[in-house]
Amino acid sequence: MVDVAAIQLVSMPDVDANFAQVKALMEQSKPGQLVVLPECFAFFGGSDKAQLELAQQPDNRILERLQDIAKSYQCWLVTGTLPVLSDSRQRFRAASFCLDSNGDVRGRYDKIHLFDVSVDDSTGSYLESRYTEPGDTVTVVESPFGRIGMAVCYDIRFPGLFQAMEQIDVLVLPSAFTAKTGQAHWHALLQARSIELQCYVVGANQGGVHANGRETFGHSSIYSPWGEKISSLEQGVGFISGTINTQKLSRIRRAMPVGEHKKFRSYFEQSS
């Protein structure tokens, strides 16, 4: 058995302050654990253009600082998302990295589905694609926790992405779900993905009111492959954890072999 964890933040438009909170919460981690940070963990609550300006700073060192954290705490770390400049340098990619306990990059996923929607909240409308370039590659990482499927926030609404991953053991989902959409759909979507994929789901969310007035839902949660909620944190800053039971995972898949019954080809089969 191995442990997974999620960190929940109410991130500010202040990189150093957000890193200080992450380090304080990492004191609760265990060596060998898989820890997931929320979307936009390092800078949130400012303008979308400010994210682009952060990506354009050649010395922001966000990834390097995260690699140091992974090494210091001897944890695998899913970095939430970082703004990484696209080739055009006029937009960035919302990139999530999976780091091992040596700080080495084991996988990178660039958010594919961008949040261009209207929401009945204080923000009203969201146009993520204005400054963000979508990714185009499905990412699965081989690890001591099994096969890790990587996704970000709005991606959770698109089950085709997860079916394309073939069989995964853990789905990691850094997020900044709005309070309105989170109340309606967050738990239902996490549970649905855990059941249909027969895997553990670790959803790390932002959880509070941010400097620009944006409200995020929180409720960072870990779900089992049977759709059970193992751990959850409603609002505010905190750390939750749970255990991956590989015997339970195997037992569920033997009793209900959904993967064998699936009639559709995977992304990896089509690409080979």
The model's pLDDT over 170-214, given as tens digits with 9 standing for 90+, comes to: 999 999 999 999 999 999 999 999 999 999 999 999 999 999 999
Model confidence at 31: pLDDT above 70:
yes
137/187 Cα distance (integer angstroms): 26
Q: Please give the C-alpha separations between residue 204 and each of 142, 220, 261, 264, in angstroms, as whole numbers.
A: 20, 5, 31, 30
pLDDT at 80: 97
Q: Out of 111, 128, 133, 199, which one is annotated catalytic?
A: 111
Q: What domains appear along the chain, each with residue ranges and CATH number? A: 2-271 (3.60.110.10)
Between 46 and 271, the more confident residue is 46
Lowest mean pLDDT among 28-42, 96-110, 153-167, 254-268: 254-268
Model confidence at 146: pLDDT above 60:
yes
Model confidence at 265: pLDDT above 80:
no
Model confidence at 1: pLDDT above 90:
no
**Are the C-beta atoms of residues 63 and 24 closer than 8 Å to each other?**
no
Q: Out of 39, 128, 133, 166, which one is annotated catalytic?
A: 39
Degrees (nearest 5) of the Cα angle 145, 147, 149?
Answer: 115
**Amino acid identity for residue 172 in this structure:** V
pLDDT band at 119 (very low <50, low <70, confident <90, very high): confident
Q: Respond yes or no: is residue 111 known to be catalytic.
A: yes
| pTM of the model as a whole | 0.94
> Comparing C-alpha atoms, which of 186, 148, 192 is closest to residue 166?
148
Reduce the secondary structure of 183-239 to three states and give it as a string: HHHHHHHHHHHHHHHCCEEEEEEECCECCCCCEECCCEEEECCCCCEEEEECCCCEE
Q: Respond yes or no: is residue 39 known to be catalytic.
A: yes
Lowest mean pLDDT among 12-16, 19-23, 263-267: 263-267
pLDDT band at 95 (very low <50, low <70, confident <90, very high): very high
Q: Out of 40, 153, 166, 199, which one is annotated catalytic?
A: 153
Mean pLDDT of 57-77: 96
